[in-house]
Homo-oligomer: A and B are copies of this chain.
Amino acid sequence: MVPDMTSGGDLSHLRRLNTLALITALREEPSQTLTALSRRTGLSRASTEDVVRDLIERGWVAVVPPAAGMVGRPARRYRFRADVGHVLGVDIGGHKILVVVADLDGSVVHSSRVAVSPSLGRKERLAALDSAVTQALAGSGMTAEDVWAVGAATTGLVDAAGRVMLSEALPEWTGVDLAAHLRRLVGAPALVDNDCKLAALAESWRGVARHAKDVVLILAGLRTGAGLIIGGRLHRGFGNAAGEIGALPASGWNRAQEHLKSWQSATASSGEDASAKAVFEAAREGDRRAGTVVRRYVRELAVGAAALVLTLDPELVVVGGGFSRAADLIADPLRRELDRWCIRTPELRISEFGDEGVALGALRLALDHLGHEVRERGDLGGPALFAHGLAHRAGRTSLSK
Contact = CB atoms under 8 A, between A and B. Distances in A.
Interface of A: 157, 166, 214, 226, 228, 230-231, 233, 235-248, 250-252, 303, 306-308, 310-315, 341-344, 346
Interface centre among A239, A240, A313 (most CB of B within 10 A): A313
A311 B308 contact: yes
Nearest to A307: B307
B343 A313 contact: no
A245 B315 contact: no
Contacts of A236: 313
A336 to B, nearest CB: 16
A311 B238 contact: no
B313 A247 contact: no
A314 B233 CA distance: 16
B343 A241 contact: yes
How many identical chains are in the complex? Answer: 2
A311 B313 contact: no
Contacts of A314: 237-238
Given A235-B230, A247-B343, A313 B252 contact: no
Contacts of A311: 226, 228, 242-245, 307-308, 311-312
B231 A231 contact: yes
A247 to B, nearest CB: 6
Contacts of A250: 250-252, 303, 307
Contacts of A214: 237-238
Nearest to A215: B238
B166 A245 contact: no
Given A230-B230, A343-B157, A343-B166, A312 B242 contact: yes
Contacts of A252: 250
A233 to B, nearest CB: 8
A235 B312 contact: yes
Contact of A313 (B231, B244, B346): B244
Contact of A343 (B233, B244, B251, B312): B244
A352 to B, nearest CB: 22
A310 B341 contact: no
Nearest to A345: B239
Nearest to A244: B310
A340 to B, nearest CB: 10
A84 B262 CA distance: 71
A163 to B, nearest CB: 15
Given A231-B230, A250-B250, A245 B343 contact: no
Nearest to A212: B238
Nearest to A246: B310
A219 B341 CA distance: 21
B166 A237 contact: no
B245 A313 contact: no
A235 to B, nearest CB: 7
14 contacts: A214-B237, A226-B311, A228-B312, A235-B312, A237-B314, A238-B313, A238-B344, A239-B344, A241-B343, A243-B311, A246-B310, A247-B343, A248-B303, A250-B303
